[in-house]
Amino acid sequence: MVVLLIVAIGLAAMMAAGDPVLDFYVERADHAFESRDPVATGVTYSFRAHTFFKHVSRNGEINRIDSAVIEYYYSWGKLDSALAISGDADRFDDLDLSYPNVFAAEYQHNLFPNDTGGTEMGIGFDTDSDDDARPVGLALIDRDRYHLLWMYLSYPNKKGFRRFSRSLRFVEHEGRVFPDSLWVVAARDGVLFSEHYRIEVGITNITIGP
């Protein structure tokens, strides 16, 4: 009994102390996000987004595609203006190109199992409540430089949607880390019918400065 009690106390202490490896990478990734994200650092920049809105039928077939090419301009890390180059830009007025700092302390983190030891390292992030509106998912970071490579976001409580997820791929440009691709998969119920769609965005022509 005494031995079991000592073991139980030891395990509790280890759990309270947390995982030092996980804590190390989360802390480094948080710092990399805050120091290299163009929005967090208040950078002035622009990019071109090639966007496709794909309407998906119930049997999974794409039955219509809307597209647009739009230039986005950010001043001091905030969206300043958008200029439509071609296509139906109004279809993408509410397109969200932002992404959260999933390494912040408000999230619960875990190391992704079956780590291969390669360049990409997975860190899972979750909330402490089933009713939380924030996304949960997985982030892949550069193991040696700690900045984002991929981010997979699931929104279990997004209002008005039966299913909503976003995936982003990142690229480094002049010391900052930008998304260069975005995928959205969603399903929402309307008054008379449900809507299923996918959005695919490719980002090019990233320019930092005035």
- In terms of DSSP bridges, do strands 78-87 and 45-56 run parallel, antiparallel, or are they unpaired? unpaired
Q: Say what the pLDDT of residue 11 is.
A: 37
CA distances from 129 to 112, 134, 157, 166, 169 (A): 20, 10, 11, 20, 27
Condensed to tens digits (0 to 9), the pLDDT of residues 68-106 reads: 999 999 999 899 999 999 998 888 888 889 999 999 888
Does 132 or 60 have the greater pLDDT score?
132
Q: Say what the pLDDT of residue 192 is.
A: 63
pTM: 0.85
Number of residues that make up the chain: 210
**Nearest residue to 198 (alpha-carbon basis) of 210, 209, 189, 187:** 187
117's torsion region: left (phi>0), alpha (psi -120 to 50) or beta? left
| Least confident stretch, 1-10, 60-69, 89-98, 196-205 | 1-10
Q: For residues 119 and 148, is the Cβ–Cβ distance under 8 A?
A: no
In the chain, the amino acid numbered 162 is R
Rounded average pLDDT over 122-138: 91
Q: For residues 101 and 33, is the Cβ–Cβ distance under 8 A?
A: yes
Tokens, residue 110: 């875990």
Query: Under DSSP, is residue 185 helix (H, G, I), strand (E, B) or coil?
Result: strand
